Amino acid sequence: MAEVDQGSAFPGEAASPAIDSLNATDSNGTDSTNATVAKFVSTPEGTALAYGSLVLMALLPIFFGALRSVNCAKGKNSSDMPETITSRDAARFPIIASCTLFGLYLFFKIFSEEYINMLLSMYFFVLGILALSHTISPFVNRLFPENFPNKQYQLLFTQGSGENKEEIVNYEFDTKDLLCLCFSSVVGVWYILKKHWIANNLFGLAFALNGVELLHLNNVSTGCILLGGLFVYDVFWVFGTNVMVTVAKSFEAPIKLVFPQDILEKGLAANNFAMLGLGDIVIPGIFIALLLRFDVSLNKNSRTYFYTGFLAYIFGLGLTIFVMHTFKHAQPALLYLVPACTGLPFFVALVKGELTEMFRYEETPPESKEDKETEKKEN
C-alpha cells in the first residue's frame, strides 16, 4: 500500500501474473505500489479519510468475493467456474511472477513506454469491462422485477463437423447481462479517455472481487506455500533491487485502489492519492475465502475462521500503516498481512482442537459443462 504525492515512486508487492509486480501509475502520472510509503502532504483529516476509505474498499471485495466463492461453481458458463490453485501452482507462482516482473523491466528498458502502455491500456480495458460486468450482474438481477422481458442468448463457436465438431466458445447470457455489459463499457471508455480515479477504482474493485471469487486454493497447505512464497518475493523485489520501482514508474493500469488525500479541499478533482495495490487484497483474500469454505464444510452454522481471518487482515493492514508512520519508510504490506492472516486462524484452530482437520480439508476442482458433456459422450 502506498501513500504518495505527485511524482513520487516507491516499490511494492504484487499478486498474480495479471496483477503481479506491476505497481501502477495513476491518472496524473503518480507512481503507485503495493508498499506503504511515509510522506505527509495533506491535512490529518484528509489522510485519515483516505486511509479509512482504502481499508473499507479493500474489505469489500474480500468479504463479498469470499461469499460468492462458496457458490461460484454453480455458474452457467465455464468462465464462471473457479480456477483451482494446487501446491505445484503455488510453488511456481513466485518464480513466474519474478520472470514476469523482470520481463516487463526489460521491455520498458528496450521499447517505448508509450506504445507498451497503449497495448496494456487496451488489454485492461477489455478485461475491466468483463470483470465489472461479472461483478455487478448479481446486483442488477435483483433490481429488475420478475416480469421483466429477459431474453436468453447464446454465443457459440464450433470447429469441425459431425462427430469431430468441437466447441471453441459457448457463452450463455441474457438481456440483463447485456445491460451490465453496456454500463461496464461506459466505465471503460471513461477510464480510457480520462483515467479518472473513480473509474480506476471501479475496475480495481471488480478485478479484486473476481480474483477472490474465482481463484480457489485447494487446501490450507497450498495457501501457506503461496503466501510464504509471495512473502519472500515481495521482500526481495522491494528491498533487494530497483526493478520493481522502475516498472512502477512506467506501468499504467487499474491494478490499484486510490483515494485522494486532498478531496476535502479539491473535491473530485483532487490529485494527491493514497493507494493500495490489488495484490494486497487478492492474495490474502483467496486464503480468507478458503477459510470461509472450510467453515461451511464443518456444518456447524458458524463462520469462526472466516471472521478470524477477516479481522486478522484488518489488523495486518493497520499494522502496515502504523509501521509506515513510525519508521517513515516504504513497507511491503505482505510482510505484515501474511503472518497475521495465517497465524491468527491457525491459533484459533489449535485452541479449538481443529488444526488437523483444517489441514486435511481438501477441495476438488468442479467439473465444467464441457467435461460433463465429454463424459456423457464417452459413456
> Is there a contact between 120 and 191 (Cβ–Cβ < 8 Å)?
no
Task: Please state the rounded mean pLDDT for residues 104-116.
Answer: 86
To the question of pTM greater than 0.85 for the whole model, the response is no
Residue showing cell 492474495: 283
C-alpha cell at 174: 441474457
> Is there a contact between 276 and 19 (Cβ–Cβ < 8 Å)?
no
DSSP code string of 27-92: TTS-B--SEE-----S-HHHHHHHHHHHHHHHHHHHHHHHHHHHHGGG-SSGGGSPEEEPHHHHHH
Residue 165's identity, in one-letter code, is: K
Q: What are the catalytic residues?
A: 234, 280
Task: Please state the rounded mean pLDDT for residues 319-325.
Answer: 84
Band of residue 16 on the pLDDT scale cut at 50, 70, 90: very low
> Is there a contact between 30 and 252 (Cβ–Cβ < 8 Å)?
no
Q: List CB contacts of 326: < 8 A, sequence separation 6 or more.
A: none
Residue 207 has pLDDT above 90, yes or no: yes
The CA angle 125-80-229, to the nearest 5 degrees, is: 75
Among 33-47, 51-65, 215-229, 286-300, the range scoring the smallest mean pLDDT is: 33-47
Length, in residues, of the chain: 379
Q: What is the sign of the dihedral through the CA atoms of 162, 163, 169 and 173?
A: positive
Band of residue 15 on the pLDDT scale cut at 50, 70, 90: very low
pLDDT tens for 27-44 read 344 444 444 444 445 788
Question: What's the rounded Cα separation, in Å, for the pair 347 and 369?
Answer: 39
Contacts 24+ apart (CB under 8 A), 90-94: 90/217, 90/222, 90/223, 90/225, 90/226, 90/229, 91/225, 91/229, 93/16, 93/226, 93/229, 93/230, 94/229, 94/230, 94/232, 94/233
| Alpha-carbon distance values, 134 to 84, 93, 195, 248, 360 (Å) | 19, 25, 21, 28, 32
Question: What percentage of the chain carries pLDDT values higher than 90?
Answer: 47
pLDDT tens for 89-101 read 999 999 999 999 9
> Is there a contact between 274 and 261 (Cβ–Cβ < 8 Å)?
yes
pLDDT at 28: 40
